[in-house]
Structure 1
Amino acid sequence: MSDKQFTPADVAKHKEAGDGMYIIIDDGVYDVTNFVDEHPGGKKILMRVAGKDATKQFWKYHNDGVLKKYSPKLKIGTVKEGAKL
């Protein structure tokens, strides 16, 4: 797990597979580029939230066990303090 920090603007640049697809959940930044095809809910939903804060959508459909399971593999950093929207 990295302690790299991102602004929401940094994450917004990563919304297509060619640029890497990043999402924000709570204060974590996750690279879902290689997870899109594995996502049990299908790739469309991840493509829709790529480059955005997906916190609300994530917690609507997942519990913290899902985050714990995938964080080590997908988390690449955090949102910079004071940079939250």
Structure 2
Amino acid sequence: MSEQFTKKDVAAHSSVEDGLYIIVDNDVYSLGGFVDEHPGGAKILKRVGGKDATKQFWKYHNESVLKKYQPRLKIGTLREEAKL
């Protein structure tokens, strides 16, 4: 079973120093060690750190990219939070 994160948990990792987490399709990825490898450069990853990057991800990538990196970078899923 994978670890579950809240949006607040992800937001606490908004920089490389904090681990740089992002959300794509309700899955949580840790990109701190991937920043220097990213073909599009570190700047774009740093801009979406700690946030839901689903829209930006799918704008520039296809499913094969996700399949390639998911086993290495996915650390969990986004936990649904109660709506009050």
Structure 1 segments (4+ residues) deviating >6 Å: none
1:4-83 equivalence runs, <5 A? 4-82=3-81
Q: Counterparts of 1:65 and 1:53 in 2: how far apart (Å)?
A: 20
Please state which structure has a larger fraction of its residues in strand.
1
Letter in 1 for 2:28: V
Structure 2: gaps (5+ residues): none
TM (norm. structure 1) is 0.92
Q: Counterparts of 1:16 and 1:54 in 2: how far apart (Å)?
A: 14
Aligned residues: CA RMSD: 1.5
TM (norm. structure 2) is 0.93
Q: Counterparts of 2:17 and 2:81 in 1: how far apart (Å)?
A: 29
